[in-house]
Structures are given as C-alpha cells and as structure tokens.
Amino acid sequence: MGRRAGVTLVPSPGKIDLKASLDPYRARRGEFRILDVPEMRYLMVDGQGDPNTSPEYAAALQTLYPVAYALKFASKAAGRDYVVPPLEGLWWAEDLDAFTTARDKSAWDWTMMILVPDWLDAAEVTAALDEPAAKRAKKPGGGPARLDDVRFATLTEGRCVQTLHLGPFDEEAGVLEEMHHRFIPANGLELTGTHHEVYLSDPRRTAPERLRTIPRQPVRAAAGANGGTAGEGAGGTAGPEDLESRSPPSSRNAWPPAGIPAQVLVPEPCSAGGCSATAGSWSVGSSR
C-alpha cells in the first residue's frame, strides 16, 4: 500500500466488470425476465434528433466517453480498476407514431448514458469533468463539445421487463412487439417510464447477426390487475411462445415508452493518456 498525489493506494482486487457482476445486465435470448432494477447512477447527456445525422448525438458520445475514462483511470490510480460499462440509451417521442408509422427520426428524443460505479461519488465525477474541461480551455475547440451538458443523475426504474436481442437492430421490432403486447399484459402489467436499451456489442467489430442488445421496459401493475404474476415476478423469468448533476434533471416519470436508436456510435479504445475527441476517432455502428 502506498500513496500517490495524496490518494491512498490499495491493492487492486483485479479489474471489475460491472456488466458481468450486476443483475440488471443479466438477460437471455428468448426469455422475458421480470426484475426490480435498483437505483443506478449515470453520466447522462440529453438530446433530440435523428441519431444517424444529428451532430448533437455524435457530440454527446464524444463527450461521455472521455469523462467515463477519466473516472476509470482515477479509480484505477486509487487501487480499484474496472471496465468502463456499456453505452445505454433512453428513447422516447411526444408522438409515438414517430417510432412506428411515421418513423420520423428527427422527432426522437434521447438520453445517452454510461453507468458510474457505486464507489465513486459526485466529487470524483466533478474532478473527471474538470480534466477534459481544462484541456478544452488550453485548446479552444479541441475538447468535448458538450461538457456543460453532462449531468450525474440517478435513474429509478423499479420493476422492469427485459430480454436479450441477438441480431441486427432492425429485427428488434418483433421482440418488442412480443414484449409489449403479449408478455407484459399477460402478466398483469402495463408499460410505464421510458424505453431503455443496453448495447453490449461493439458494432464496428461485431457482425450484425451477433450484435447483443438488452431492451428493457419499465412496467407497473395494470389497473384492475388482481395479484398473479405481476405481484410475484421480481427476478422471475418466462419464455415467449417458443452533481447530483450540475443541472438537476427534470422528472422522467412522465416519459412515454418509445422507440430505438437508428445506430450506435462507439469510441476508439481509450488509454491512460485520454480519449480523442475528434470526429475521426468515432465510428458509426450498423444502421437501423
């Protein structure tokens, strides 16, 4: 054990992979699972527009990853290393036809997020935000463009239904149809909250048929539902047929469930030297 820059160093227990150790990242293909998701804290950036073409969307991801890696390296220096968690997204629209018949991606609203481990606090998030901000101050225009939009906030979802989708994003529609219109009502539940997706695969390095995505839908007991599976299903499964943010978030409870991103932007690998914030260091995933 030693000290570095005033921080007590402790022996590392090995690199922690939160997506392997946390229950909300557990999902199986062909199985809808009812679970209670605990409060989880994220780095978040909000936006609106078509993720295929929106500079705002690209800038959001180009900002999130440098902050997430700054947190990781600070934690590693203090003796607790971890794998940066996967990208996640909340998606909705005022008019749900924007996701179905109209497919008007310009009307899509989103929050892109990366999980913050529970041993890191608001002060450490602030320090992680200050690092790229200092670099941007030294070189105007050279740092993440949306640092002022990053917030550290708690997401409360509660009871949810989720599954694992394996394959191209375009083929998710059938899974969501089964989840929303068969499994959820059949279990005395109804949709609430916001459509949530967890992107477990890197679309630059993964064939479309092997992409792994967790679609998650918050639910509540349906009006007039009497007991049954809805009251007993926390952690259950069933198969289908066969800071503290800089600007406090508005309430998310009223968000309607909604659709899915057209594509996912993913960063080139980062190192202890930091992440590049230039457009050339980001790749576009498979289009929906």
| Residue 211, domain CATH | 3.20.80.10
Residue 200 lies in a domain: yes
C-alpha distances in Å from residue 218, one per residue of 170, 178, 249: 22, 15, 19
User: pLDDT band at residue 258, thresholds of 50, 70 and 90?
Assistant: very low
User: pLDDT band at residue 5, thresholds of 50, 70 and 90?
Assistant: very low
pTM value?
A: 0.76
> Domain range holding 160?
15-265
* Distance, CA of 269 to CA of 69 (rounded, Å): 10
Q: What is the pLDDT of residues 161-174, one digit of tens each?
A: 999 999 987 788 88
Residue bearing the bigger pLDDT, 225 or 87 = 87
Q: What is the pLDDT of residues 30-60, one digit of tens each?
A: 999 999 999 999 999 999 998 878 899 999 9
Residue 270 lies in a domain: no
pLDDT at 169: 77
Interval 205-209 mean pLDDT: 91
Tokens 């892109």 label which residue?
A: 112
Residue 194 lies in a domain: yes
Share of the chain above pLDDT 70, in %: 69
pLDDT above 60 (res 235): no
C-alpha distances in Å from residue 153, one per residue of 35, 178, 238, 251: 21, 31, 32, 11
pLDDT at 256: 33
Q: Tell me the CB-side half-sphere exposure of residue 110, using CA atoms within 13 A.
A: 28
How many other C-beta atoms are found inside a 10 Å radius of the C-beta of residue 78? 18
User: Comparing C-alpha atoms, which of 144, 145, 181, 162 is closest to residue 237?
Assistant: 162
Total tally of structural domains belonging to the chain: 1
How many other C-beta atoms are found inside a 10 Å radius of the C-beta of residue 227? 9
* Distance, CA of 45 to CA of 89 (rounded, Å): 10
* CB 194 within 8 Å of CB 215: no
C-alpha distances in Å from residue 66, one per residue of 26, 82, 148, 259, 281: 26, 15, 13, 27, 12
Residue bearing the bigger pLDDT, 276 or 74 = 74
Alpha-helix residue ranges (DSSP H) falling in 179-284: 184-186, 229-232
DSSP-derived letter for residue 167 is: S
Residue 7 lies in a domain: no
Residue 251 lies in a domain: yes
How far the first Cα of the chain sits from its last, in Å, is: 49
Residue 271 lies in a domain: no
Residue 250 lies in a domain: yes
Residue 58 lies in a domain: yes
* Distance, CA of 69 to CA of 75 (rounded, Å): 10
* Distance, CA of 174 to CA of 177 (rounded, Å): 5
Strands 212-221 and 165-166: antiparallel
